[in-house]
Amino acid sequence: MRYTRLPHTDIEVSKLCLGTMTWGKQNTKEEGHQQMDFAMEKGINFFDTAELYPIPAEAERYAHTEIIIGEWFKNTGNRDKIVLASKIAGKAPFTKFIRTTGFKRESIIQAVEGSLNRLQTDYIDLYQLHWPERSTNYFGQRGYQPSTSDHWKDNIHQVLGTLADLIKEGKIRHVGLSNESPWGTMRYLEESKVHTDLPRMITIQNPYSLLNRLFEVGLAEISMRENIGLLAYSPLGFGVLSGKYLGDQKPENARLTLFENYKRYSGKTAIKATQEYAELAKAHEISLTQMALSFVNSRPFLTSNIIGATTMDQLRENIGSIDLELGEEVIRAIEQIHDRIPNPAP
């Protein structure tokens, strides 16, 4: 395994982070525990979760993923060996069963204390805002469209103040963003620069893959110049970049087979790009999955690459990507495909 540090800290994390959002829905508790055992054995010390998980979100399974992780911590005694990240759910129609109050002070406190209870721990190493409260482009929205129904008032000082209090209490150690835009990222960073008693956002968890490199457009420069590290999610585009859906295949129990509305990475242009990446991988006798993950692993703005799997075979292959270094010829060919078919999945 290879390791990095969470920016502005001395916390060492594995370059691969174990994603958990299928546990409690597509995966059982036992399978989640098996994945954590195996990941830790392979050197992964960084787990990412959220109160929203498992996905798709539903009231009957609210926060089951955190519960599964908490039981593993209790059974194994491994809490101090893991860097743990979680998130507060934002305000949205599909989170009304959690709360409707957004990032108000009481909401953040309630969310943190609920996660601590379920995770059976006294602290969370990295606490993230899952997506912005304001109306902006995230979750597959390519461009920003102003909304007349957006009544958000700038509460970033209050949000950071609440997080500062939770840090002082020892309930969280550091804070990060997720599904955030360049404007939002800089707004948070500037607030903590002006008010030095407020915590600094150290990471941003956004989508990044061969099918979606939009992070490079505005956020990569911010990441490098401000030292706010990318935690890349969906590096395989909901599994599309494994190639298992090519040729209109619908593998049994696969995410896009079970949840057909998850079309973010499955449009015609994305499938065309995936086919070209698959042919490139085949020509160089490497796994498409590992090529896609290795590309993400190689990016200079990356802090950690969040891998997820529903089977142990998938997890083994994903973790194996850390040992693959793409040659210059493969990188050039990837860039040529990207030039022809840039960011086919928003």
Catalytic sites, residue numbers: 53
Asked whether 108 and 162 are in contact (CB, 8 A), the reply is yes
Pairing verdict, β 172-178 and 124-129: parallel
Contacts of 288 (CB under 8 A, 6+ apart): 241, 242, 243, 277, 278, 281, 282
CB atoms within 10 A of CB 181: 19
Residue 145's Cβ-count burial label (10 Å; 0-12, 13-18, 19+) is exposed
Pairing verdict, β 12-14 and 3-5: antiparallel
CB atoms within 10 A of CB 251: 12
* SS3 label, residue 177: strand
